[in-house]
Chains A and B, each alone.
Chain A
């Protein structure tokens, strides 16, 4: 039936405009495929928050995150024809945003300062102290990580990629990915100690099994 309708639409001289409903995502996506500006704005409005939450984890600051969002949405609209409607749009968007972040990282890799972990004190961390820190503060800590550590940490911990996948995506060795992750954790622990000394002293942290991968 759908095929019949589409054929008749092709015959029509004036195609009926695809009216979309903001609640109906598929109609919005269809309208976006027809390059309807209102639908494009609607899609951006609906998913900017989600895209920003992903981008912020991979970016060093809000400006970098905005750039990732811009590039990510650009990819979305350019490749919208390739989108498989059987898959959730959010998952597709997430994949694009992560790939955009990785591309950005690889493009700007040579400008990133190489951070040495020499001198970083390795200590244990308590779950109580982490629960006391807000999500925004945690995000700030992650954003303060060097890009290589941040990429490895976010890809492995937040988005659940394996070291092999991370190594493939970033073009590094699997071992490098593991070491980056370990160093990221150490760096985060050190930053908690530096930025939240009162919490650090409040709780007693057993030093066991922390550096395991």
Chain B
């Protein structure tokens, strides 16, 4: 047989070989390449953009609502202050009638010659000529007339309305309004709306001028005021009383010319309201406002122990309400994997060549022993909890959440030796591909409140929603101990 024939026979035989493959083998190869090569699925930048935008929106929304909430309180105070002012304006007529408004009627009936009045300008002289018959329809007494004539005594008598009371003055024309109106008392009309219907003559001073039936023009009113003011100035002995009376008259004068808006000058508005009204006006995101103000913040640490796993976590918790809370944090989890006595046992159980995969540098004549597999995970636990209070300090807690896997690593340790000499230690470490959402975690436990601390013990059960290399079983059980401190 020639060499080329020999080769051809071998070639044909070997090229005819078509070994089959199964799905396990495919999965094994794929796991190998995903764990050893950087060929994990890419997340496109657009997704990062969307996630970043969503997170930014969420943070901005929370921030906006918080700022809005603070701003709204100020606005509500302002609105209530305005409301109080408006209501104060609305109730002024009643208040004014009872406490503030006095009507002064001063009738000056001058029967003597007007030039004499003009020359003397003294009230007592004019008072002597007051016609009591004309006063009669108003049921005034002589004393009242005198009071009306004498400003000082008038002031002392009418405590409510004059300077001692420090209140305002108003004028009413009275039943013979037309008469006085024609004689130029336009101010009477303007003051009419301010008067109480119960106003009687005892606290009213008629200020009018009737110069023998002579009709006064509108301008004579001012003259009267002026004259009356002069009279007050001259006849009063007490300077303070005089000044106040003049001020009142000036006010009267001003008031008579401003007949259109009688209400506002009497309004005293409180500067600031102590409390805002119970019916608050809302500005959107109502659901968030009470929560923001009542949210409690907790921080603390936890320790996890379960079926072949140990972990520690840093936690943060937000109390959404008295009974609901949201917890998140960072957890480092160490999962104890399978253990094998020898590389051969490993090969028998897993179908993999341990030496080739994890210990290529160990000579074939060396024994590989005590193989241990460990998995280390960095997780982001996210859970929502319901708290059922048993009493003030004790509560039951029920939670539902998931553990988002951020990072996972496979660590294999083993020993190798040659001919019963000393052991050498070897290890292998590789990053594993992680799926973000892997499991659902159920919690039920008890918690104890002590001052600002919360102590918790809660058993948990974790259901794997997808196959992962570090959990061989679908369910994992364990318990968690947590200590949290209340920040606010």
A208 contacts which chain B residues (CB < 8 A)?
2
Closest to B44 in A: A15
Instruction: Decide yes or no whether A53 CB sits under 8 A from chain B.
Output: yes
Contacts A13-B46, A157-B11; A56 near B19 (Cβ below 8 A): yes
The reply on B5 being an interface residue by CB < 8 A is yes
Is A35 a contact of B41 with CB atoms below 8 Å? yes
Give B353's nearest chain A residue, CB to CB. A63
> Could you give, for residues 172-213 of chain A, a 1 whenever the CB lies within 8 Å of some chain B CB and a 0 otherwise?
000000000000010010000000000000000110111111
The answer on a CB contact under 8 Å between A158 and B18 is no
Instruction: Determine if A125 and B18 form an interchain contact, defined as CB atoms under 8 angstroms apart.
Output: no
A36-B41, A108-B360 known; A157 vs B17 contact (CB < 8 Å) = no
Across-interface contacts of B27 in A (CB, < 8 A): 41
Alpha-carbon separation in the docked complex, A212 to B2 (Å): 8
The answer to whether A48 touches B25, judged by C-beta atoms less than 8 angstroms apart, is: yes
- Asked if A142 and B14 sit within 8 Å, CB to CB, the answer is yes
Main secondary structure of the interface of B (DSSP, over half): helix
Q: Output the nearest chain A residue to B357 by Cβ-Cβ distance.
A: A67
B118 interface contact, C-beta 8 A: no
Decide if B29 touches A70 in the complex (CB within 8 Å): yes
User: How far apart sit A69 and B360, CA to CA, in the bound complex (Å)?
Assistant: 16
Complex interface bits, B37-68 against A, C-beta within 8 A gives 1, otherwise 0? 11111101010010000000000000000000
Of A158, A212, A213, which is within 8 A of B10 by CB? Answer: A158
Q: Does B9 have its Cβ within 8 Å of any Cβ on chain A?
A: yes
Contact between chains at B353 and A127 (CB < 8 Å): no
- Do residues A52 and B21 form an inter-chain contact, with CB atoms below 8 A? yes
Given contacts A63-B353, A63-B356, A77-B33, contact A41 B26 (CB under 8 A): yes
Residue of A whose beta carbon sits closest to that of B20 = A49
Q: Does B3 touch A at the CB level, under 8 Å?
A: yes
CB-based contact A209/B3 at 8 Å: yes
Which residues from B are CB-within-8-Å of A185?
Answer: 3, 6
Residues of B within 8 A of A70 (CB): 28-29, 32-33, 36, 357
CB distance from B35 to the nearest CB of A (A): 10
For B28, what are the chain A residues with a Cβ–Cβ distance below 8 Å? 66, 70
For A108, the closest partner residue in chain B by CB is B360
**A41-B15 in contact (CB<8A):** no
Chain A proximity mask over B344-355: 1 for CB below 8 Å, otherwise 0? 000100001100
Q: Are B40 and A125 in contact, CB atoms less than 8 angstroms apart?
A: no
Q: Are B29 and A35 in contact (CB under 8 A)?
A: no
Least Cβ distance of B297 to chain A in Å? Answer: 37
A138 sits at the interface (CB 8 A):
yes
Q: Which residues of B contact A77 (CB under 8 A)?
A: 33, 37, 39
Judge if B7 is at the interface, Cβ distance under 8 Å.
yes
Given contacts A13-B49, A67-B353, A210-B6, contact A40 B14 (CB under 8 A): no
Nearest B residue to A137 via CB reads B13
Within 8 A of B (CB), among A32-51: 34-37, 40-41, 44-45, 48-49
A108–B355 CA distance with the chains assembled, in angstroms: 12
CB–CB B26/A136 < 8 A: no
> Does B16 have its Cβ within 8 Å of any Cβ on chain A?
yes
Q: Please give the distance in Å from A160's CB to the nearest CB on chain B.
A: 9
Contact with B along A143-181 (1 / 0, CB 8 A): 000000000000001100000000000000000000000
Q: Is A99 an interface residue (CB 8 A)?
A: no
Distance from B365 Cβ to chain A, minimum over Cβ atoms (Å): 9
Instruction: Give bound CA distance, A107 to B21, whole Å.
Output: 27
Which residue of B20, B29, B39, B40 contacts A78 across the interface (Cβ within 8 Å)?
B39
Q: Write the chain B residue with the least CB distance to A189.
A: B6
- Measured between beta carbons, the chain A residues less than 8 angstroms from B1 are 124-127, 205-206, 210
Residues of B within 8 A of A206 (CB): 1
B11 close to A48 (CB less than 8 A): no
A31 to chain B, nearest CB (A): 11
A150 CB, nearest partner CB in chain B, Å: 12
Question: Counting chain B CB atoms within 10 Å of each CB, which of A37, A53, A70, A77 scores highest?
Answer: A70
Q: Which of A1-37 contact B (CB under 8 A)?
A: 13-15, 34-37
Chain A residues proximal to chain B, CB less than 8 Å = 13-15, 34-37, 40-41, 44-45, 48-49, 52-53, 56-57, 63-64, 66-67, 69-70, 73-74, 77-78, 107-108, 111, 124-127, 130-131, 133-136, 138-139, 142, 157-158, 185, 188, 205-206, 208-213
Q: 10 closest A-B pairs (Cβ-Cβ)?
A: A63-B353, A48-B21, A130-B9, A67-B356, A138-B13, A135-B13, A70-B32, A157-B7, A52-B19, A35-B41
Which positions in B face A, CB cutoff 8 Å? 1-3, 5-7, 9-11, 13-21, 23, 25-30, 32-34, 36-42, 44, 46, 49, 347, 352-353, 356-357, 360, 363-364
9 extra A-B contacts, CB within 8 A, seeds A49-B21, A66-B28, A211-B3: A40-B30, A44-B30, A48-B21, A73-B32, A131-B9, A138-B13, A157-B10, A209-B2, A213-B3
A-B contact pairs, 14 of them (CB 8 A): A15-B46, A45-B26, A49-B19, A53-B19, A63-B356, A66-B352, A66-B353, A70-B33, A77-B37, A111-B363, A135-B17, A157-B11, A208-B2, A211-B3
